[in-house]
Structure 1
């Protein structure tokens, strides 16, 4: 087990006070990286990493030499290797030449720089965030997967190498690794944060995501990084909704038992829980429509690259793109219209039923063995399709492996989701 404490809230408070504190944290980071990273393998290999980091920390110190310091001053952050970062190549977990993929960093990375962070490096992802072998191991048990595709970001935070990290989610790429690694994962509402400066997979889904070790840290981070954040507070417990139909049948038996125990605990703590008929067809959950949608957009994103580098793609990604090339723009437009309809229908159901949060396990089970699958889309894809914000809370374990409790909020109401998720998290502790 390679789990180390790394509180983002404490980190931020300490670094505001003194450069001596930042120096101490830098030394701690380098020591922990050298001890843990050879086993966990959360980061993309980088020559002269220590020198690059020391130079970057010196630049941050020089830029923000005066008080008050920026809110994330001196805090190390890991960045998923789909996100462009000036000075480091983008490989996107692929065999394609970095010069074909690397572009200028986008507005979100620039915002992080303005907040005063320094970058620990690029974190491991599956090939183009879709599929493929990864080096990263689960810090809880090295023979298990950390989940994908934001594997390295979740593992780095779980191992305490950095107090927060950035990933992306298309269908499950934040929720799965957060659940498997026992950290908090937050996927904001679709388009709440501009997604420029990213090697996209499916532009109608792709969203930034954050990882921290606890809800206190995520509460702090979301307020700093989500556009136009407006604090929310309400002196009552949220009403929780459980989807009817096939959705809740996709769980492994021990996950079902664990979830039922969690619901009972919440009811005993005074939470109201409703089972609700959902505004989607079970066949849509079970079918391949969402995957076809992703494949079709992948084919568009990779159109020029694929024509040049087709033989450098791994077979699973290659076949997905070839499949996507058979999907018409008319079919894709139908899926895009369906996204908006489901988004609005979910808002209507929440309003009519008085639901504050939808809840479910974040994954169908705990982390599979390393080298097998890196997660399930069943508990996450439909919410990603609707663009809804979601949080995975580390609230249980099965056979000594973490299992996340997923809270899903109303589209655009990320502030409410984070607030209510804190309330739920406290009750589940």
Structure 2
């Protein structure tokens, strides 16, 4: 069987499209051919009749806009982008991986799509999401091994990039729905600070945590996309010098599988060898209570987000999503308010510890281990829980692994609002973790 893993460098293809080395009509046609060829196995895209004609017309309109090569073409000119199917895009239904009638979910085009279009991008189509981006997995398969999960509810976006169907995809993260699938699929995932990309036009899950982000093959592509999508992006804020990296020792890291934790320590050693200062800090002493508060907030808000739909269409929900809604409905408003207060205190403690130890970036495994076998579970989101709960910017970079093993990701987490610094440091961090396929994890040759 031919390899399904052929990620495309966004920075290179965007440069070729801007300079005229590639015709956007030809690239749009090639994109549709790749989707047609690969998606029968990967199932990253929501099926669409007439995709090729729609994309050709969009590329024609882009050319007719008059922007000349090297003469003002926007940064994502002609770049096809996958859009997670809880994000409204004009001309395409939003189904959210559900059985609800699409007219019930209809809404105005999302601000993030407006910004992509303004940057010259073409909407390649909707990428598959788990139902309502809550918990029930969609049909997407991991391009590295189709019998393994691609991860959480941004699974279609991560798999589409890993398989080279598109060089850029938009996902969302409430707890771990973007970082984990990007790690499982061996690509880069970037979740900005909460609120940095407006969520107008996106179906809500838990608004306290919901964050839009991007999936690309490399960190330079993530920075290119972030500059187009984030509010008030200022390149001059980019980090310089070598960041101080913090390892959050304690109960949190104990949730990683033993082999993933062994790999993490080898990745830390690589960063040290590249000249990065690493400090180990006892953290999250009361992690179970802190995690419980974040789960309470999430469940309560999911139930409120679905109040109208669930009353009308509850029998059409996947039983796993329905159970989340029922759990959320059992939580009192006062319990949610108390959990929010404790969450704010948690954010303050985390910020204080970050400052006290001079940490620029926290580092941790992106997931508890490699992608599990089977498609019934999307894996565990716990490695993203504290960072998403605090609304911090997170980046997962593919990390070294044994030959033939499933991907592992290393997660880097910055202070709130330090998105530019995080992505400014990212190229050097990416280089420190290359080449891949070289690390022995524990005593095994394969993580599967």
Instruction: Flag whether TM exceeds 0.5 (same fold).
Output: yes
1:337 maps to 2:353: no
How many corresponding residue pairs? 428
Question: Are 2:250 and 1:245 equivalent residues in the alignment?
Answer: yes
Does the Cα contact within 8 Å between 1:279 and 1:342 map onto a contact in 2?
A: no
Structure 2 residue aligned with 1:259: 264
- Residue 443 of structure 2 corresponds to none
Q: Tell me the distance in 1 between the aligned counterparts of 2:133 and 2:240.
A: 40
Q: Which residue pairs with 1:378 in the alignment?
A: 382
**Residues 168-222 of structure 1: per-residue CA shift (max 9 Å, x gap):** 0000001110000000000000011111100111010000010000112112222
Is 1:428 aligned with 2:430? no
Identify the match of residue 302 of structure 2 among 289, 298, 315. Answer: 298
1:227 equivalent in alignment to 2:231: yes
Task: Find the aligned partners of 1:177 and 1:235 in 2 and give their Cα distance.
Answer: 29
Moved more, 217-226 or 82-91: 217-226
Question: In 2, distance between residues paired with 1:156 and 1:40?
Answer: 8
Distance 1:129 1:2 in 2: 25
Give the direction of change, closer, same or farther, for the CA distance of 1:234–1:56 in structure 2 (3 Å limit): closer
> Residue 411 of structure 1 is aligned with which of 407, 416, 419?
416
Contact 2:7 2:161 in 1 (8 A): no
Residue 15 of structure 2 corresponds to residue 10 of structure 1 = no
Q: In structure 2, which of residues 300, 315, 323 is the aligned counterpart of residue 311 of structure 1?
A: 315
SS in structure 2 of the partner of residue 401 of structure 1: coil
Q: Which runs of 5+ in 1 are unaligned?
A: none
| CA pair 83-64 structure 1, distance change in 2 beyond 3 A | farther
Residue in structure 2 matched with residue 37 of structure 1 by the alignment? 39
Instruction: Find the counterpart in structure 2 of residue 26 from structure 1.
Output: 28
CA distance in 2 between counterparts of 1:316 and 1:422 reads 39
Task: For residue 41 of structure 1, report the CA deviation from its aligned partner.
Answer: 0.9
For 1:97 and 1:103, how far apart are their aligned partners in 2?
13
Aligned counterparts, 1:10-409, within 5 A? 10-18=12-20, 21-66=23-68, 67-231=71-235, 232-278=237-283, 281-284=286-289, 288-397=292-401, 400-409=405-414
Output the CA distance in 1 between the equivalents of 2:352 and 2:300: 29
Contact 2:84–2:128 (CA under 8 A) maintained in structure 1? yes
**What's the TM-score, normalizing by structure 1?**
0.96
Say which SS state the counterpart of residue 383 (structure 2) adopts.
coil
Q: Secondary structure at the match of 1:311?
A: helix
Unaligned stretches of 5+ residues in structure 2: 435-448
In the aligned structure 2, how far is the partner of 1:389 from the partner of 1:373? 26
The answer to whether the Cα contact below 8 Å between 1:279 and 1:345 also exists between their aligned partners in 2 is no
SS for the counterpart of 2:400 is strand
CA distance in 1, matches of 2:284, 2:401: 31
Comparing 14-23 with 379-388, greater Cα deviation is found at 14-23
- Give the superposition deviation at 1:21: 2.5
Deviates more, 1:408-417 or 1:327-336: 327-336
CA distance in 2, matches of 1:20, 1:133: 36
Give the secondary structure class of the aligned counterpart of 1:146.
Answer: coil
CA distance in 1, matches of 2:285, 2:302: 24
* Contact kept in structure 2, 1:343 and 1:388, CA below 8 Å: no
The answer to whether the 8 A contact 1:60-1:116 is kept is yes
Give the Cα–Cα distance (whole angstroms) in 1 for the partners of residues 60 and 274 of structure 2: 49
Counterpart Cα distance in 2 of 1:426 and 1:201:
35
1:29-72 C-alpha deviation (Å, 9 max, x unpaired):
12222221111110011112212221222222223445411111
Question: How far apart, CA to CA, are the structure 2 residues paired with 1:405 and 1:102?
Answer: 37
Structure 1 contact 346–410 (Cα < 8 Å) conserved:
no
Instruction: Classify the secondary structure of the residue corresponding to 1:246.
Output: coil
| TM-score normalized with structure 2 length | 0.92
Q: Report the Cα offset of residue 339 of structure 1.
A: 3.2
CA distance in 2, matches of 1:420, 1:19: 30
